[in-house]
């Protein structure tokens, strides 16, 4: 079944869940858009991305959310760990995306389609 980018349609706001149903580190996958939209709680901030990796179209939101590595001469193995809980890895080829910026960790930068999320009266809302 083809997995190409979904067409543009008019947007509206959807209720994801109650605030306490999406604790930090959690994810909710909603059947919105062509491939679904995942809403993530990253240390109390919310981000929403399409469930579609720009590489080969894998189900991005099903990947693990963790941190990533940087060069750190002071650390064992010369490697430090940052952005814990903020980096999602595509479950197929493990490309790393920063949920906050909506882009790959590495250059050349590739974007993922992201959606605005806000909290209104104790509900998490996403606009798709």
Interaction site with other proteins (CB under 8 A)? 1-4, 29, 31, 35-36, 51, 55-59, 62-64, 66, 68-71, 78-79, 89, 91-96, 104-108
If the CB atoms of residues 14 and 55 are measured against other proteins, the closer one turns out to be 55
Measured CA to CA, the distance from residue 56 to residue 8 in angstroms comes to 20
∠ CA 48-52-54, nearest 5°, is 110
Q: Which is nearer to other proteins, 14 or 119 (CB)?
A: 14
In the complex, least distance from residue 122 CB atom to other proteins, rounded to whole angstroms: 25
Least separation in angstroms between CB 127 and other proteins = 18
Cβ neighbors of 89 (< 8 A, separation 6 or more) are: 63, 64, 65, 66, 95, 96, 97
């Amino acid at each position: 079944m083809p997995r190409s980018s979904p067409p543009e349609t008019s947007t509206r706001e959807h209720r994801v869940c109650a605030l306490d149903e999406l604790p930090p580190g959690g994810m909710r996958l909603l059947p919105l858009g062509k491939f679904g939209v995942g809403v993530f709680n990253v240390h109390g901030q919310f981000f929403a991305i399409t469930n579609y990796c720009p590489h080969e179209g894998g189900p991005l939101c099903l990947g693990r959310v963790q941190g990533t590595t940087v060069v750190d001469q002071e650390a064992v193995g010369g490697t430090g760990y940052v952005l814990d809980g903020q980096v999602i890895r595509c479950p197929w080829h493990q490309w790393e995306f920063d949920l906050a910026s909506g882009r790959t960790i590495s250059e050349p930068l590739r974007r993922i389609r992201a959606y605005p999320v806000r909290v209104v009266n104790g509900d998490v809302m996403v606009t798709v």
